[in-house]
Amino acid sequence: MEIQHYQACWARDITDLFHAAVHAIADEVYDQQQKALWAPSPPDYAFWSRRLEQKQPWVALSNGQVVGFIELDHDGYIDCTYVHPDYQGMGVAGALYDQVETQAITRGLSRLYVEASKPARRFFAARGFIQIKQNHIERQGIVLSNFLMEKRL
């Protein structure tokens, strides 16, 4: 596996990975309505192409295939961390996170923060993030919960 900076040729693969990762979450964690709101079908490829061009994520590749990505904003906000369902539990997210933390330290950031989903909360906690609060976001009458977490560097 290798970690590389974003290239536009990966936009569609990243979009499909995001969609697959969200919809692979167990229904007991987020139900079908919540996942459909979070990652609508079909994916909006034009929106994601613009977003990725702006965010410039780090991308994990395995044999040339996109298997994960992570975004780091200039203020230390980790906006997205997703791994393809077939590659979860194989260290992809950890390698991506290590890249982001190294980048944050190089930039002189004093903290990282994230609004972690229920499944991601344990991942970030294991890397030293502490939970600040739980968020409840309502869209179209559907509530999604996540957790504001931060780590001091």
- What is the rounded distance in angstroms from the CA atom of residue 70 to the CA atom of residue 55? 9
Using DSSP, state whether 85 is helix, strand or coil.
helix
Say what the pTM is.
0.95
Per-residue pLDDT of the chain (153 residues), as tens digits, is 999 999 999 999 999 999 999 999 999 999 999 999 999 999 999 999 999 999 999 999 999 999 999 999 999 999 999 999 999 999 999 999 999 999 999 999 999 999 999 999 999 999 999 999 999 999 999 999 999 999 999
Place of tokens 């030293």: 128
Model pLDDT, residue 34? 96
Model pLDDT, residue 86? 97
Q: CA-CA distances (angstroms) from residue 71 to 5, 26, 139?
A: 10, 24, 23
- What is the rounded distance in angstroms from the CA atom of residue 49 to the CA atom of residue 89? 27
Sign of CA dihedral 66, 58, 95, 147: negative
Q: Which residues contact residue 107 at a Cβ distance below 8 angstroms, ignoring those fewer than 6 apart?
A: 74
Domains annotated on the chain, with CATH: 2-110 (3.40.630.30)
Model pLDDT, residue 69? 98
Model pLDDT, residue 141? 94
